[in-house]
Structure 1
Amino acid sequence: MGGDEKVQSDILVARDDGSTSSSDMFLDDTFSIDSSITAYRMENGRRYHAYKEGTYWAPNDERQNENLDISHHKYLLVLEGKLLLAPIREDIEYVLDLGTGTGIWAIDFADQYPTAQVLGTDLSPIQPDMVPPNCRFEVDDAKDEWIYPLDHFDLVHIRTLFGSIRDWNKLYRQAYRHLKPGGYIEQMEISIQFKSDDGTVTAESPLHRWSTLFTEAGEITGQSFRVCETMRAAIEASGFVNVVETIYKTPIGGWPQDSRLREIGRWSLLGFDTGIEGYAIALLTRVFGWNPTEVQVFLQVCPVRNFFI
């Protein structure tokens, strides 16, 4: 049996309404992190961010960070080895990676584009210390008012921030204001709705319940998980032009006959295996009031892996 998830990528040409000059993004090579930011919170055996505690649903411990890096490799496979689809210049200057996570995308981008100054921001300072000289990380909340120069970035990159943002319209408007005319915003999000071509995923399927729980959690918290269904219209409404939307149907598991899809599916399943508890435990306990034992029982009686062999 097989299951699919949908990876959706938006590439949008940003502003085209004039020209402006940019200023240096990296003003100082030194910075410090308040100790309270690294005083991470332990909850149900998992570690979570301390800065703006409780506003993000996934853990930031090693197990979940491994999941992020596995997912990064999966996205590279989906995009056939490319970090993005936007037709950026080789001599691109300023890049912002929102919700950078482990920083793996920002690091790879900085290596591939040595002229770029790459800034990755996240609630958790979990990125490595040894990074390319043109890459830097900051603890910041993308939902706050941006303090970067206006008309500054050539590229704003967003990936899998579903369930994290209350006001996407505000975020897109800020990106519009802080991008140079002619710059790009690229966003990749995952549909939480599992689908199957052979009718395996029915309304009675545990996978359907899984998707329903995430949808309901987003409705309760006001931070929707159904971002890929709405992001194109919201980005266009914020002023972006020449929108290109690309939808990829990606398998989960090694069942496809096609060798490329089979490799993507195996990495998808590995990511699901490493991330499934982290995906579920905070949402189900915080939003629905389940206790940790109920979550573990649900993960056992909802044998998601059996659908993806």
Structure 2
Amino acid sequence: MCQDASTTGGQPSHPPAGNQQLYPGAATAAEIHIPVEDDVDSAYGGEDAMSDTTSVASTIWKHRFENGRRYHKYQEGAYWGPNDDAQNDQLDIGHHMMRILLDDRLHLAPLRTDPQRVLDVGCGTGIWSIDFADEYPSAEVIGTDLSPIQPAYTPPNVKFEVDDCTQQWMYPPDHFDLVHIRCLYGSVSDWPAFYREVYEHIRPGGWIHQLETSIQFKSDDDSFPPNSALLEWSDLFIGTAEKFGKTMRVTDNMRRWITDAGFQEVREVRYKVPVGPWSSDPKHKELGKWNLLYCFYGCEGWAMFLLTNVLGWKPEEVQVLLAKFKAALKDKKTHAYYEM
């Protein structure tokens, strides 16, 4: 997973003393070693471990249904993920996992203590927006998403809007102290244009902060079995997303795209996030437990739309793939991770 916090300039932006604390993953991912626990049988367990707006057109608040899952109606088909309760629970699991990853922080950007205007792009259930508003009462936080799935009762300094971040933004230029982006892989067809839009709407000295996930499963000890379903999964969805016109390879390019848009002081931190509690390191073990849940309960939503609409698979064929993928996720002998 790549994490970028980048300022447009206009105020000192060098990290404070204790840079390794602010950027705990400052080593490259290749330099990070996740220790493996000798006996992980007992760690895995079973599957059990596993503001009202009245001015919006009524059609925006509708949903569509396909293959037993619910999807957004506004800009129908622009995004592949469901917006039903099952997927929303999975998004909140991911939020908890990412807070663990960042040592209970919501971001790594060296913000001033009283940020005024913050935009959370692709906010999903709105959980990050709400947490940020609680932590920074000075900030007016706007969360945008294609789906109106956010709670009605929120802190007074939060509001949610149904919007498409890939269209022209209607906010004033030089407006936001922070633009927060998380897990938009496979959602944007023109990333350089998107980052130019972000740059135009951040005030001088403000920050972009992006947390993205690579879907390429890896292992440092060659523990993948022959014909691993995890590796098959990565190859399949990287290729399918390219056909869909919205790349999953955001982590490979985001630093360059952000720099090309004009941002300065761009910093990238890479983390390895284990799949399953196979590590002997306490933090990586906890991350792995939550990531196993995140993948286990998210995979149908990740797969169903893309495989049936882009590749023409039958839903039954998708379910066969999901069964293989879930079995591979729970394989105690595979020490898999992906980067964020």
TM-score w.r.t. the length of structure 1 is 0.92
Task: Tell me which residue corresponds to 2:84.
Answer: 61
CA contact (8 A) 2:276 2:285 kept: yes
| Cα distance in 1, alignment partners of residues 113 and 212 from structure 2 | 25
CA contact (8 A) 1:194 1:201 kept: no
Indicate which of 87, 93, 99 corresponds to 2:122: 99
Task: Tell me which residue corresponds to 1:252.
Answer: 275
For each residue in 1:26-49, what CA deviation from the matched residue of structure 2 results, as whole angstroms up to 9, or x when unmatched? Answer: xx9964332211221100000000
Task: Tell me which residue corresponds to 1:261.
Answer: 284
> Which residue identity does 1:289 align to in structure 2?
G
Unpaired segments ≥5 residues, structure 1: 1-6, 18-27
Task: Tell me which residue corresponds to 2:65.
Answer: 42
SS of residue matched to 1:154: strand
* Distance change >3 Å, CA 182–CA 149, structure 1 → 2: same
Taking only the aligned residue pairs, the percentage that are identical comes to: 51
May I ask how many residue pairs the two structures share in their alignment?
293
Indicate which of 214, 221, 238 corresponds to 1:191: 214
Instruction: Please give the residue correspondences for 1:1-309 in structure 2 after superposition, counting only pairs within 5 Å.
Output: 7-16=1-10, 31-201=54-224, 204-302=227-325, 303-307=327-331
> Which residue identity does 1:304 align to in structure 2?
A
CA contact (8 A) 1:58 1:278 kept: yes
| Cα distance in 2, alignment partners of residues 30 and 194 from structure 1 | 41
CA contact (8 A) 1:72 1:104 kept: yes
CA contact (8 A) 2:230 2:329 kept: no
CA contact (8 A) 1:15 1:239 kept: no
Task: Tell me which residue corresponds to 1:3.
Answer: none
**4+ residue runs of structure 1 moved beyond 4 angstroms?**
28-31
> Which residue identity does 1:103 align to in structure 2?
G
CA contact (8 A) 2:118 2:179 kept: yes
CA contact (8 A) 2:94 2:291 kept: yes
CA displacement at 1:254 relative to structure 2? 1.1
* Distance change >3 Å, CA 304–CA 9, structure 1 → 2: same
| Cα distance in 1, alignment partners of residues 270 and 177 from structure 2 | 24
> Which residue identity does 2:331 align to in structure 1?
F
| Cα distance in 1, alignment partners of residues 246 and 111 from structure 2 | 30
> Which residue identity does 2:10 align to in structure 1?
D
SS of residue matched to 1:108: helix
CA contact (8 A) 1:164 1:223 kept: yes
| Cα distance in 2, alignment partners of residues 63 and 127 from structure 1 | 14
Task: Tell me which residue corresponds to 2:17.
Answer: none
| Cα distance in 2, alignment partners of residues 85 and 60 from structure 1 | 28
* Distance change >3 Å, CA 259–CA 199, structure 1 → 2: same
CA contact (8 A) 2:122 2:184 kept: yes
Unpaired segments ≥5 residues, structure 2: 12-50, 334-340
Alpha-carbon RMSD across the aligned residues, in angstroms, is 1.6
CA displacement at 1:307 relative to structure 2? 3.1
SS of residue matched to 1:214: helix
> Which residue identity does 2:96 align to in structure 1?
H
| Cα distance in 1, alignment partners of residues 225 and 2 from structure 2 | 23
TM-score w.r.t. the length of structure 2 is 0.83
